[in-house]
C-alpha cells in the first residue's frame, strides 16, 4: 500500500480558551489514501466542518499532528498554509459561492487565473472542466440562470481548477433535491474512483451511503465509528447467504 496522503495523529481543535473553550475536534486519528470516496456523518455541532477545515489547512490543530503528503502541517507557520492549500486541496461548499456577475466559464477561468493559468490556456481548461462535470452546453450561463445542481457542478469545476489531489466537500448536496444531490455525489465518487483523487465529503444524507468507500461517524468531536463499503457488501452477501 502506498503512503497515506493525509495523516491525523490525535488531532484536537479547541476554539477560545478558559471557561468558554469549546473542544470541537477531540483526538482524532486517521489515515487517508487517494482513490477513495469517504463520507463523514454525525449530528449538528459534532465537529465535522472543523475537521474538514483542519484537513484543508484552513485551521491549524490546537494539539496533535497533521501531515499532508510530506508536510507536517501542524508544525508549519500559519503563512505557509495557503500554499499547501492551493497546491493540494479543492473545496466545495453547500452554498455554491459563485460570482453572480460571471458566467460559468468566467467563474472557472477566474479560479484558473488565481492558479497562474491565463488566456487561451485558461479558456481551454475551463471548457474541459465544465465538460467534465456535464455542463458543456451551459458555458455562458450566469449563475442565476442555472439550476442548483448546475451551480454545484460549476463550483465543482472551479474546485478542480488547480487539479488538486484532494477534494473536501462540506454538505455539497444540502441545498439540492435528493435526485440532483445524488447525481452530484455520483460525480464526486467518480472523481475518487476514476481519477484517483481523495474525496472527503460531509453529509447528513443517509441515501448516498451506498456510494462511499468508507463512512466515518463523529460525535461530540470524536470519531466514534467507521464502516467500509467492503464490510457492508460482505454483511449483505452473508445475510443473503451468498
Instruction: Count residues near ligand ATP (CB under 6 A).
Output: 12
Is 83 a binding residue for ligand ATP by CB under 6 A? The answer is no
User: Is 45 near ligand ATP (CB under 6 A)?
Assistant: yes
Near Mg ion by CB under 5 A, which window of 48-56, 77-85, 95-103, 112-120? 48-56
Which of 49, 152, 173, 203 is in the footprint of Mg ion by CB under 5 A? 49
Of 14-22, 70-78, 118-126, 182-190: span binding ligand ATP (CB under 6 A):
14-22
Q: Are 223 and 192 in contact (CB under 8 A)?
A: no
Q: Which of these ranges, 48-56, 97-105, 140-148, 179-187, lies near ligand ATP under the rule CB under 6 A?
A: 48-56
Side-chain-facing half-sphere of 148: CA atoms under 13 Å? 16
CB neighbours of residue 111 within 10 Å: 22
Site for ligand ATP contains 203 (CB under 6 A): no
Q: Which stretch binds ligand ATP (CB under 6 A): 37-45, 69-77, 100-108, 185-193?
A: 37-45
Q: Any residues with CB less than 8 A from the CB of 225 and at least 6 apart, and which?
A: 216, 217
Please report whether residue 49 would count as binding ligand ATP according to CB under 6 A.
yes
Which residue's beta carbon is nearest to the bound Mg ion? 49
Would you say 131 or 224 has its CB closer to Mg ion? 224
Taking residues 166 to 205 in sequence order and writing x for each that binds Mg ion by CB under 5 A, - otherwise, the string is ----------------------------------------
Q: Is 48 in the site for ligand ATP (CB under 6 A)?
A: yes
Q: Which residues make up the interface to ligand ATP (CB under 6 A)?
A: 15-16, 22, 24, 42, 44-50
Which chain residues interact with Mg ion by CB under 5 A? 49
Amino acid at each position: 500500500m502506498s503512503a497515506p496522503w493525509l495523516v491525523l495523529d490525535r488531532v484536537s481543535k479547541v476554539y477560545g480558551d478558559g471557561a468558554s473553550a469549546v473542544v470541537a475536534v477531540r483526538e482524532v486519528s486517521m489515515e487517508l489514501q487517494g482513490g477513495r470516496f469517504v463520507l463523514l456523518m454525525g449530528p449538528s455541532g459534532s465537529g465535522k466542518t472543523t475537521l474538514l477545515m483542519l484537513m484543508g489547512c484552513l485551521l491549524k490543530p490546537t494539539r496533535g499532528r497533521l501531515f499532508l503528503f510530506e508536510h507536517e502541517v501542524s508544525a508549519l507557520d500559519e503563512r505557509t498554509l495557503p500554499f499547501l492549500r492551493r497546491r493540494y486541496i479543492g473545496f466545495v461548499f453547500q452554498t455554491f459561492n459563485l460570482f453572480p456577475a460571471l458566467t460559468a466559464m468566467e467563474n472557472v477561468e477566474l479560479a484558473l487565473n488565481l492558479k497562474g493559468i491565463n488566456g487561451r490556456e485558461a479558456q481551454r481548461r475551463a471548457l474541459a472542466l465544465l465538460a467534465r462535470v456535464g455542463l458543456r452546453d451551459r458555458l455562458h450561463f450566469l449563475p442565476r440562470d442555472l439550476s442548483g445542481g448546475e451551480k454545484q457542478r460549476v463550483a465543482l469545476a472551479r474546485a478542480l481548477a488547480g487539479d488538486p489531489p484532494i477534494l473536501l466537500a462540506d454538505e455539497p448536496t444540502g441545498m439540492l433535491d435528493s435526485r440532483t444531490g445524488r447525481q452530484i455525489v455520483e460525480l464526486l465518487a467518480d472523481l475518487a474512483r476514476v481519477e484517483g483523487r481523495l474525496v472527503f465529503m460531509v453529509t447528513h444524507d443517509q441515501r448516498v451511503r451506498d456510494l462511499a468507500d468508507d463512512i466515518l461517524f463523529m460525535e461530540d468531536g470524536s470519531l466514534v465509528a467507521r464502516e467500509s463499503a467492503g464490510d457492508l457488501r460482505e454483511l449483505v452477501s452473508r445475510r443473503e447467504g451468498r
